[in-house]
Amino acid sequence: MAVIEVEGLVKRYGALTAVDGLDLSVARGETLALLGPNGAGKTTTVECLEGYRRPDEGRVRVLGLDPIADARELSPRIGLMLQEGGLYPHVRPAEILHTFAAFHDDPEDPDALLTSLGLDDVRDARYRSLSGGQKQRLALALALVGRPEVLFLDEPTAGLDPVARRTTWELLAERTRGGTTILLTTHLLDEAAAVADRVAIIDRGRLRLLGTPAELTAGGDGSVTVRIDPTPDAAMLAARLAAHLGVEVRPEAGDRLRIAALATPTLLTALAGFLTAHGGDLADLRASGRTLEEVYLRLVDDPELQRSTAVVA
Ligand code: ATP
């Protein structure tokens, strides 16, 4: 049985249809990332699952329960992290986390959570004096402390520095190994690719694409992209590399060169030969496939694709 089920969800705000017939399901222990442009309907979808908003049409279930009718039974089993922390300015992280822990039968150790989220130094500081990233980490600790079976995370790493972001991903991965199911929204495509088992791209309230990161980024043109440092003149470098390899090489954004060939041992040997002969370091090499960012931008930028029915991997 799916832990999170969304069937034909429609949610309107007056004349605006924010969610327009959405179907999704998330299995136990799975992490699903919801991606989409601002205003796509991600938060509204999550809020319907959290029981904050009543669907106008369709059906949502979490752990087989109705988030509104069964709120009392459901709420101890889910962990929420909202976009704005919304805590009273005078509370202190350790105090509030211990208080939240006391609501649960088998909570995580609040002090260990503070340590793993790097909040030891501010455990007794006032909430209002915390930095944005510290507030964000406290919100995550509050979501995790009750050992929830399901976690709803709205942009969990927005505003976090790269180290804190990675720590967060690791904490979440530990929880999913223990069977926790996660639905998260994010604008960070690297985050979706790194943490999600499946990614759902929604736009104007509809599902546009659904699949594993590998499925969504597969089916590239079989080419290789490289970045060679230094690249004083990408067009010149591309021409020299093309002459050396005997295949077409095109400069792309970010000093990248796209080599129109498969990453065979012969090609890679020739590439190494070029670097030896002409100097330069291989700063990056990517064989075939597309990045999630390329898939996403193509989808949201392409009016033709936008008109077509949802492409579901
Ligand atoms: P973001 O990436 O910016 O967080 P989102 O995908 O989470 O966006 P939602 O917050 O679900 O998008 O908003 C979907 C649409 O519904 C937007 O056009 C938004 O302006 C509108 N909307 C959201 N909440 C309300 C509300 N309470 N009243 C009226 N309109 C709303």
Per-residue pLDDT 10s for the chain (313 aa) are 799 999 999 999 999 999 999 999 999 999 999 999 899 999 999 999 999 999 999 999 999 999 999 999 999 999 998 666 667 778 899 999 999 999 999 999 999 999 999 999 999 999 999 998 899 999 999 999 999 999 999 889 888 888 889 989 999 999 999 999 999 999 888 888 889 999 999 999 999 889 888 777 766 666 788 899 888 899 999 999 999 999 999 998 888 898 888 777 888 889 999 999 988 899 888 876 667 777 777 777 766 555 544 444 4
Among 12, 19, 35, 44, residue to substitute to test ligand 1 (most atoms within 8 Å of Cβ): 44
Q: What is the CATH number of the domain that holds 273?
A: 3.30.70
Statement to judge: residues 132 and 279 lie in one domain:
no
Statement to judge: residues 16 and 131 lie in one domain:
yes
CA 18 to ligand 1 centroid distance, Å: 7
Statement to judge: residues 263 and 195 lie in one domain:
no
The last residue of one of the domains, among 155, 186, 217, is 217
| Per-residue confidence (pLDDT) for residue 309, from 0 to 100 | 44
Nearest CA to ligand 1 atom 1: 38
Long-range CB contacts (within 8 A, 24+) of 264-267? 267/224
Statement to judge: residues 186 and 249 lie in one domain:
no
Q: How many residues does the structure list for the chain?
A: 313
The last residue of one of the domains, among 183, 217, 251, is 217
Statement to judge: residues 29 and 170 lie in one domain:
yes
Q: d(Cα 210, Cα 31) in Å, to the nearest integer?
A: 13
Which pTM does this prediction carry?
Answer: 0.79
| Per-residue confidence (pLDDT) for residue 193, from 0 to 100 | 84
In a domain, 293, yes or no: no
Q: Which of 55, 50, 102 is nearest to 81 (CA)?
A: 50
Among 9, 16, 56, residue to substitute to test ligand 1 (most atoms within 8 Å of Cβ): 16
Statement to judge: residues 31 and 157 lie in one domain:
yes
| Per-residue confidence (pLDDT) for residue 213, from 0 to 100 | 82
In a domain, 243, yes or no: yes
In a domain, 64, yes or no: yes
CA 38 to ligand 1 centroid distance, Å: 8
CA 196 to ligand 1 centroid distance, Å: 23
Statement to judge: residues 50 and 144 lie in one domain:
yes
Statement to judge: residues 136 and 47 lie in one domain:
yes
Nearest ligand 1 atom, CA 40 = 6
The last residue of one of the domains, among 201, 217, 233, is 217
| Per-residue confidence (pLDDT) for residue 85, from 0 to 100 | 61
Q: Which of 110, 118, 111, 113 is nearest to 166 (CA)?
A: 118
The total of structural domains in the chain comes to 2
Q: d(Cα 261, Cα 77) in Å, to the nearest integer?
A: 51
In a domain, 312, yes or no: no
Nearest CA to ligand 1 atom 25: 13
In a domain, 73, yes or no: yes
Statement to judge: residues 201 and 56 lie in one domain:
yes
| Per-residue confidence (pLDDT) for residue 296, from 0 to 100 | 79
By the 10 Å C-beta count (0-12 exposed, 13-18 middle, 19+ buried), 49 is classed as buried
CA distances from 96 to 89, 134, 277, 287 (A): 11, 14, 62, 48
Three-state helix/strand/coil letters over 60-103: EEECCECCCCCHHHHHHHEEEECCCCCCCCCCCHHHHHHHHHHC
| Per-residue confidence (pLDDT) for residue 305, from 0 to 100 | 54
Nearest CA to ligand 1 atom 30: 13
Statement to judge: residues 264 and 229 lie in one domain:
yes
Q: d(Cα 172, Cα 182) in Å, to the nearest integer?
A: 8
In a domain, 303, yes or no: no
| Per-residue confidence (pLDDT) for residue 299, from 0 to 100 | 76
In a domain, 310, yes or no: no
Q: Which domain holds residue 70?
A: 4-217
Ligand 1 residue neighbourhood (C-beta within 6 Å): 13, 16, 18, 36, 38-44
| Per-residue confidence (pLDDT) for residue 289, from 0 to 100 | 60
Helices (H), the chain: 42-50, 71-74, 93-102, 110-116, 132-144, 162-177, 189-195, 213-217, 234-245, 265-278, 292-301, 303-307
In the sheet where 57-62 sits, what is the strand order? 16-26, 4-13, 57-62
Statement to judge: residues 212 and 233 lie in one domain:
no
In a domain, 110, yes or no: yes
CA 53 to ligand 1 centroid distance, Å: 12
Q: d(Cα 42, Cα 36) in Å, to the nearest integer?
A: 7
Q: Is-contact 34 45, C-beta < 8 A?
A: yes
Q: Which of 47, 3, 54, 40 is nearest to 24 (CA)?
A: 3
Statement to judge: residues 236 and 186 lie in one domain:
no
